[in-house]
Amino acid sequence: MTGYFDLSKRVALVTGASRGLGLAMADALAEAGATVVLNGRDANTLKAAADRICDRGHNAETSAFDVTDRSAADSAIGSVVTRHQRLDILIANAGITHRAPLAEWTSEAWDAVLTANLSACFFLAQSVAAPMRSQGYGRIIFTTSVIGILGRRTVHAYAASKSGLAGLARSLAAELGEYGITCNSIAPGWFETELTAPLLADKAFVARVNDRVPLRRWGKPRDLAGTAVFLASDAASYITAQQIIVDGGLSATL
């Protein structure tokens, strides 16, 4: 692949990349020429995912760590930079959700979601910003959610964390732009992933979503991949502090 979307010689770290949206984005970056470091907590699952990418002739490595463990994350990022002498792209995608009526939420559940979905992304960005500043180039991309824009009952911490993450992308963009670093976010709508499996099991809910989405279907992980490549590439060199919604038109309709 050549031109604006060529990621040859770029090194990318994608968190939450053993499956679902993270794997689809990592796979696409590798197809565009990047060396992709897949992150997740399970080393065996990561290896299987990386092997599938490598079997197609692309470059993929693994780095198993919990994004909420700041020491482990910093060490892993340092290892990537030592190995490759650079780190060009971070896609901070790992996240969790919790569903409960307002009265049943606990402080432990609230803190767990905010820690994984928002705080971990901040500290990952803080860690990768150092080598990106030194090389005068970087792409930081967060996975947010249309729920952070529209809201949804019972997922209060998830909605708050994703809305906060979009704001974090803007503040980082304002500070890091002078170093050649862009920071943007991608807000998926309803996608078929392990995270949404409980909802996909509800046929009536699936039908309601399909009826509201102009494209009349749920997104598939691959539908998000092109946006990730775009934001990671030179084609988006003058785009920063933005949130791109990928929801089949859901948020634009009543």
Q: What percent of the chain has pLDDT over 70?
A: 99
Query: What pLDDT digit, counting tens, does each position of 47-86 carry?
Result: 999 999 999 999 999 999 999 999 999 999 999 999 999 9
In this prediction, residue 1 carries a pLDDT of 45
What confidence tens digit (pLDDT) does each residue in 120-167 have?
999 999 999 999 999 999 999 999 999 999 999 999 999 999 999 999
Q: What's phi and psi for 56, nearest 5 deg? A: -95, 10
Q: Regarding beta strands 11-14 and 35-40, do their DSSP bridges make them parallel or antiparallel, or are they unpaired?
A: parallel
CA 19 to chain centre: 12
The residue among 58, 10, 79 whose CA lies nearest residue 235 is 10
Confidence at 254, pLDDT banded by 50, 70, 90: confident
CA distance 105 to 85: 44
Domain boundaries, the chain: 3-194+221-245
Q: 121 by DSSP, 3-state: which? A: helix
Please give the average per-residue pLDDT across 168-182, as a whole number: 98
Domain spanning 3-194+221-245: CATH 3.30.1300.10: no
**Amino acid 2: pLDDT:** 58
Q: What pLDDT, on the 0 to 100 scale, is given for residue 194?
A: 85
Mean pLDDT of 27-47: 98
**Contacts of residue 130, Cβ cutoff 8 Å, sequence gap at least 6:** none
Active site residues: 158
Cα 149 from Cα 163, distance rounded (Å): 7
Mean pLDDT of the 93-98 span: 96
Give 171's pLDDT tier (boundaries 50, 70, 90).
very high
Around 149, how many Cα atoms within 13 Å sit in the side-chain half-sphere? 17
